[in-house]
Structure 1
Amino acid sequence: MTTGHGTRSGTLKLHYNLIRNLTSPDEKANGVQTWFANVDAQQILEIGAEDNLRTYIPEHSPGKRNSVHKQIANTIEELPDRFINRNSGITITCTSCDVDDAKRIAFLENASIINGAQTQGELRRYFDSVEENEASKFMVRVEIIMEPQREQIVEIAIARNTSTSVKSVSQAGARGYLTELKSSIEASLPGETIQMSETDTEGLNTQSILQWTRLLMPQKLPGNGVPRNFAYKQGGKCLADFSSWAEQRKSDAGAKTLYNFVVQMGSVAIKEYRYWERHEAWNGHRLHEYGKNSDKPTGGRPVRRDKATNKVSWVAPGIMFPIMSALSAFVRNRDGSWVLEKPTLFKEEELIRRAVQQFRALDREVAVMGRSEAAYDALSIYTDTIATVLAER
């Protein structure tokens, strides 16, 4: 029995036996919804896997069908009624989901499997090998994540697969992509180092450093053509991009420039992030307090204060990232070396005042500010204007 591969475009009708909405308050605040459903195994064959990091491995190389694939197949063939308990299930993302419980159908827009492609492949292999009237009837549990923002689906896919951002750090470290960055940071910041694999418990978080450094990268630098909020919305992609530049730096001049920027500016980004996180100008804005209607900030805590001094000692990334991005206006290449030079016209407290203003204008929602292109633009207008005035002198 053959069944065509599913497609992500259009609407997928997913028939189910039972479905439950288990959306958390945090998900709801971000416009996300999550359902868990029990569906007939054959329904899984109709779903595309375009947003998954990996497709069914043996489809491209039959010789790579490993013990995991065979264990899935054994359960399907020998204990199909136990499959729903012994298999970790399927994760599906979509940009919208309408549930018709009367008909037991979920209508999914832009549906894609992001975790479970190997399971889907073994299911297809089984159903293709038997006649329709001989196929076992059994169920698969699926998690449906409705995420309207496509770039967030990419981040979910990275996090839900074995090739997570941390795992990717291990791969990048093993391939030598992080070696020069590590050496540069250790030279500039004695006593500091970065994590080189997923098992490292000591050292700075490598992906965070790459995000901070990407924020300092000038917008006009060839090859950096991404929105200012890119590092916040697609943190895993910052690591993927750096690995790509490292791999291509010997044959591609553009990749070499971008790679060298990160290596040279990594320690600068660390120092700047720490400096601004504890900047004296945060004190007095009372960002930690409830609003006029006794409402607390949403989407995470905006700041934390040191218990001993009662001063701000930590600022949420959603607020910090637009500030770091604004500083890119002052990054220059001097005789082949990248530097951050803050002009005397620049008033640090003014940039923080504008950041606070944007935070309040966005209803004090940390995550919203981190994603808001308008917030990044508003802060960058100040620094870009100063840089332009100085350039014209």
Structure 2
Amino acid sequence: MVDADQTFVIVGGGLAGAKAAETLRSEGFTGRVILISDERDRPYERPPLSKGYLLGKEERDSVFVHEPAWYAQHDVELHLGQTVDALDRAAKTVRFGDDGTLVHYDKLLLATGAEPRRLDIPGTDLAGVHHLRRIAHAERLKGVLGALGRDNGHLVIAGAGWIGLEVAAAARQYGAEVTVVDPAPTPLHHVLGPELGALFADLHREHGVRFHFGVRLTEIVGQDGMVLAARTDDGEEHPAHDVLAAIGAAPRTALAEGAGLEIADRAHGGGIVVDERLRTADPDIYAAGDVASFPLALFGSRLRVEHWANALNGGPAAARAMLGGDVTYDRVPYFFSDQYDLGMEYSGWAPPGSYDQVVIRGDAGKREFIAFWVKEGRVLAGMNVNVWDVTDPIQQLIRSRARVDTERLADPHVPLSALA
């Protein structure tokens, strides 16, 4: 039984941490809630940073999870710009801030998120090298893209994943010249495979993006502290005024590692190992959001999911588990993207090698379709492109594990609900 004298500490001021704090209060917890974030801005959502906010279509205030007064009104102690540098499991304390403040916890949630992977090549210290993870990054990059567009400048993007492609789309809409470099043969290769990756390559080429596949950046060349070009391992040199490193994100596990908590291997995402209740091996410590590696029985694997929906749903699930609720976190992975006039939603998990065919329902040429990744007649994942209000039946198909007739799956006249 949770009582009012208890203290729950949340480390991490992203969406998962903020929604966990909100859930603790909405579920009736009357004890002390402390939320510690190393960012100076109150908790915000990250998707707009590479979409609407970066394009100037959304105001800065629209990204925040709660109004400024919400934290005081709900008696949530918010510590911004404070880094937690030590976790003592035996004493059940965390230490944070320049003055080494110690706080005791009864339950602890680690929602420390992820950080951009860095390019380990010469030239990354130049002024025109960027990452995109935090709101300050987006603010800086928005100014850069505007300037590149006005001056016909060149942006080189290392990485053809979701962030790389969304920034490429934004940059082209500002008028900048864009080259994307990636060692894979197609964009989004490790998520969508070659079949659908090619569709995104065509989309971006139609909007003037140049791709250079099968190569890696080896050096960023500059003069007087400014970027001049980016070189690849095949000897090519690409003109550049700015470079964006979009080569993925690494879970921020240092605090957990220092406390002796188990970290998943790289094959399972490398995050903090938790059970289906998002609880670590320490019964008083939980993890949620980008940093958590959780078991998903539906796919018979352990996953770490770096997307908005996982933070949105994982934070509240962890909070309920901390309160003693009967929680099983088994959400179907979900994410979305907007690029030019293409909007898409993806549900499931089907990395290359896990499926034996891709079934298309609709018109891929017009980019109005649903793609299904299928193995032995069972749907592992589905992506709807410019087709809406189908996420629930797609997820139902995935959850059902039912064998489907692929001809009927491809037929737009057969309701998806009739296939599960």
Structure holding more strand per residue = 2
TM-score band w.r.t. shorter chain: under 0.3
If the length of structure 1 is used for normalisation, what is the TM-score? 0.26
Greater C-alpha radius of gyration: 1
TM-score, scaled relative to structure 2: 0.24
